[in-house]
């Protein structure tokens, strides 16, 4: 699948809090396809979708990616405001602003929303809080689960960090192993004098959490250059230890497509952070209450790690989403 000659445009959405960055990639010959709105995960930005957006546009889909406050080129809260006052519901408000933009642009065509990692958690919460949202479908890419998943991710982050230290073959500059929980650097990152190892400072560290061994150094370094930002809001990180949404409320907030499909849960075989078991449990939470065989589906991207939109399976990821949107087998 090629994405030649599909350029990205940077837009801004005005909100009462501040402007939000919105990347757009439009098809050359617009079809009557549903627009797509992508939402990134923690430590990331809209730029992480810069490869996936053109692939979707080439298939005829107007594709957009939003940077939440404090990420990418969106407005930057102060350190205190970001880590103490910025909550999951703050991100929900940003996601809703992006959705309102698409609704104004495509008033007759409800959007399909796509969330990666934390972004999937934000979309699930947003849909559960606003059942009248003009959303026709939800795609979860290596997503935070309904349960929040914070404890699992913290443990997995710690394990990945240990692996990165081993691969770099150098002494740890972080806190002692007995206190090195995945969430601790987030919690204390805004105290500069501590100089804690964030866990995503070197290519080896980034690869251990987000990318497979098969991903090129160029891809890893490109993410660090274009997408990596400040550490995630401490408050958001802590809130992820509690449930984010209810499956029934999320499904009620999706109008569905003509095929009857509402949710696609995509996991990654080599994901070091969101395990296949967590993804399976999230899928089963939806599946247990769905109304038809097609309403909630799941798929796994073999050989890919957490950043499915950039890793070795990125083209397969795009094809999978397109097949799901168009009613084909996934």
* CATH number of domain containing 39: 3.40.50.1820
Residue 127 and residue 49 in one domain: yes
User: Token digits for 85?
Assistant: 């006052």
Residue 132 lies in a domain: yes
Residue 121 CA from chain centroid, whole number: 8
Residue 137 and residue 193 in one domain: no
Please state, in angstroms and rounded to a whole number, the distance separating the CA atoms of residues 221 and 165: 18
Residue 20 and residue 165 in one domain: no
Residue 29 and residue 64 in one domain: yes
Of the candidates 6, 120, 104, 141, the residue with the CA atom closest to the CA atom of residue 63: 6
- CA 83, 44, 177 angle in degrees (round to 5)? 65
Domain boundary among 174, 196, 224: 224
Residue 105 lies in a domain: yes
Q: Is the dihedral of CA 266, 270, 273, 279 positive or negative?
A: positive
* Consecutive H or E run containing 66: strand 63-66
Residue 22 and residue 91 in one domain: yes
Residue 125 and residue 238 in one domain: yes
Tell me which residue range forms the domain holding 185.
Answer: 152-224
Domain count, the chain: 2
Q: 139 vs 77, 158, 216, 221, 324, CA distance in Å?
A: 29, 27, 26, 27, 9
Residue 330 lies in a domain: no
Please state, in angstroms and rounded to a whole number, the distance separating the CA atoms of residues 11 and 7: 13
Phi, psi at residue 315, to the nearest 5°? -70, -35
| Tens of pLDDT, residues 84-101 | 999 999 999 999 999 999
| Tens of pLDDT, residues 265-290 | 999 999 999 999 999 999 999 999 99
Residue 202 lies in a domain: yes
Residue 169's pLDDT band (boundaries 50, 70, 90)? low
Residue 327's pLDDT band (boundaries 50, 70, 90)? very high
Residue 53 neighbours by CB distance under 10 Å: 27
Residue 197 and residue 240 in one domain: no
Residue 46 and residue 143 in one domain: yes
Q: What is the distance in angstroms between the CA of the first residue and the CA of the last residue of the chain? A: 17
Residue 34 and residue 134 in one domain: yes
DSSP state of 215: S
Residue 25 lies in a domain: yes
Domain boundary among 170, 201, 224: 224
Phi, psi at residue 267, to the nearest 5°? -110, 170
The pLDDT of residue 1 is 63
Residue 174 and residue 118 in one domain: no
Helix 217-226 with 203-210: angle, nearest 10 deg? 100
Of the candidates 254, 298, 256, the residue with the CA atom closest to the CA atom of residue 278: 298
DSSP state of 131: T
User: What is the model's pTM?
Assistant: 0.91
Residue 177 and residue 116 in one domain: no
Domain boundary among 185, 209, 224: 224
The pLDDT of residue 178 is 40
* Consecutive H or E run containing 39: strand 36-39
Residue 101 lies in a domain: yes
| Tens of pLDDT, residues 97-145 | 999 999 999 999 999 999 999 999 999 999 999 988 899 999 999 999 9
Residue 197's pLDDT band (boundaries 50, 70, 90)? low
For all residues of the chain together, what is the average pLDDT?
91
The pLDDT of residue 193 is 41
Residue 90 lies in a domain: yes
């Amino acid at each position: 699948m090629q994405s030649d000659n599909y350029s990205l445009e940077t837009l801004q959405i005005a909100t009462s809090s501040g402007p939000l960055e919105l990347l757009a990639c439009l098809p050359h010959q617009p079809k009557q396809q549903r627009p797509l709105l992508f939402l990134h995960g923690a430590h990331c930005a809209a730029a992480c979708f810069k490869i996936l957006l053109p692939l979707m546009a080439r298939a005829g889909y107007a594709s957009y990616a939003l940077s939440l406050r404090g990420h990418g080129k969106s407005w930057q809260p102060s350190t205190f405001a970001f880590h103490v006052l910025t909550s999951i519901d703050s991100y929900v408000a940003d996601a809703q602003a992006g959705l309102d933009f698409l609704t104004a642009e495509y008033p007759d065509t409800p959007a399909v929303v796509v969330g990666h990692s934390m972004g999937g958690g934000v979309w699930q919460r947003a849909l559960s809080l606003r059942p009248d949202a003009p959303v026709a479908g939800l795609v979860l890419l290596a997503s935070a689960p309904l349960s929040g998943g914070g404890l699992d991710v913290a443990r997995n982050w710690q394990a990945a960090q240990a692996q990165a230290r081993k691969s770099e073959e150098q002494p740890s500059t972080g806190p002692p192993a007995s206190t090195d929980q995945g969430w601790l650097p987030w919690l204390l990152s805004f105290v500069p004098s501590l100089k804690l190892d964030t866990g995503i400072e070197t290519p080896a560290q980034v690869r251990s959490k987000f990318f497979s061994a098969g991903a090129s150094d160029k891809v890893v370094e490109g993410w660090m250059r274009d997408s990596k930002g400040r550490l995630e809001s401490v408050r958001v990180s802590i809130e992820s230890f509690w449930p984010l949404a209810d499956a029934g409320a999320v499904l009620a907030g999706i109008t569905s497509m003509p095929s009857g499909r509402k949710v696609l849960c995509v996991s990654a075989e080599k994901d070091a952070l969101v395990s296949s078991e967590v993804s399976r449990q999230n899928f089963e939470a939806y599946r247990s209450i769905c109304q038809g065989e097609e309403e909630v589906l799941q798929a796994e991207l073999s050989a890919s790690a957490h950043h499915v939109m950039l890793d070795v399976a990125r083209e397969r990821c795009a094809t999978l989403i397109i097949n799901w949107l168009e009613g084909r087998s996934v």
